[in-house]
Amino acid sequence: MASDESVSWGNHKIEWSNDLLLHMEQEDGDHREMFVLMNRIFSAAQIGADMVTQAVADLCLFTREHFLREQHGMERAGYPDREAHRYDHEYLIFQLDVLIDRLMLSGPECVAEELVDLLKRWLCDHILTYDQAFAAYLHERGQKVA
């Protein structure tokens, strides 16, 4: 463990890619913001454990709000796969809550790798599968999420 309490996470940074664009203004804006908040966790790791905890809490709060916005959009659109999509949101939040509890108990250095893996799943896998499927449904019908 580092003696100055900083956490050594290497050069973790998850880069935004335009492959993740859904061509929906609110959605894409939220997803980009999630990248910003996630990368802030890595910067906070250079400063100290308290900063990491705060940065994770910020990302978690924003992500919950984003998921609710998306779920309302799916309801309004009558999207048929909305239950499975909502379930994936809830599963991701559950996993994050477990990691946050462990982070509080053991410190960021114990959960760093798992946190990185989980965030990559959030920000890439989920967007490229569930969110893209919802976007495709809307685009096919010429609908927009208000």
Site string for Fe ion, 36-75 (x = CB under 5 A): ----------------------------------x-----
CB of 2 to Fe ion, least distance (A): 34
CB of 99 to Fe ion, least distance (A): 19
Candidate ranges 6-14, 55-63, 99-107, 124-132; the one touching Fe ion (CB under 5 A): 124-132
Number of residues that bind Fe ion (CB under 5 A): 3
Site string for Fe ion, 79-118 (x = CB under 5 A): ----------------------------------------
Per-residue H/E/C for the chain: CCCCCCCCCCCCCCCCCHHHCCCCHHHHHHHHHHHHHHHHHHHHHCCCHHHHHHHHHHHHHHHHHHHHHHHHHHHHHCCCCHHHHHHHHHHHHHHHHHHHHHHHHHCHHHHHHHHHHHHHHHHHHHHHHHHHHHHHHHHHHCCCCC
Q: Is 135 in the site for Fe ion (CB under 5 A)?
A: no
CB of 98 to Fe ion, least distance (A): 20
* Residue (of 53, 52, 66, 57) closest to 24 by Cα position: 66
Q: Is 131 in the site for Fe ion (CB under 5 A)?
A: yes
Q: What are phi and psi of 33, to 5 degrees?
A: -60, -35
Residue 70 or 109 having the CB closest to Fe ion:
70
Contacts with Fe ion by CB under 5 A lie at 70, 130-131
